[in-house]
Amino acid sequence: MEIQVNLDVMMARRKISGGELAEKIGITPANLSILKNNKAKAIRFSTLMALCHELGCQPGDLLEFIDDEPEKGG
């Protein structure tokens, strides 16, 4: 069970490089890489807002809930 960041997909769609995006939203390329590789433990609203603004998308386009646990019976 995890939240998957689909930043690489959106970046490919918008044809924008990591360095360029990092510069535009004001974070380091290292931090963008953490986010892109699903290593991040949390994301600030300000970062999410800047990403959505630059990529012209909704938070739901960037974040996806993956439920790999077996469903509870009931």
Partner 1 sequence: MKWTEDRSLVLSQICLGLFALLLAALDIGCYWAVGWFISLRNMPWQNGAALMAVIYLCSVFGWLLLNKLWGLLRNMKKGVVFAEENVRRLRCVSWCCAGAAAVCLLGCAFYLPLLFLSMAAGFMALIVRIVKNVFQQAAAMKSELDFTV
Binding site for partner 1 (CB under 8 A): 27, 31-32, 34-35, 39-44, 47
Nearest distance from C-beta of residue 66 to partner 1, angstroms = 18
Which CB atom, from 6 or from 47, has the smaller least distance to partner 1?
47
Contact status, residue 11 vs residue 21, Cβ threshold 8 Å: yes
Nearest distance from C-beta of residue 14 to partner 1, angstroms = 19
Tokens of 56: 């012209």
Please count the other Cβ atoms lying within 10 Å of the Cβ belonging to residue 11. 20
Which CB atom, from 1 or from 42, has the smaller least distance to partner 1?
42
Nearest distance from C-beta of residue 73 to partner 1, angstroms = 33
CA distance 40 to 33: 9
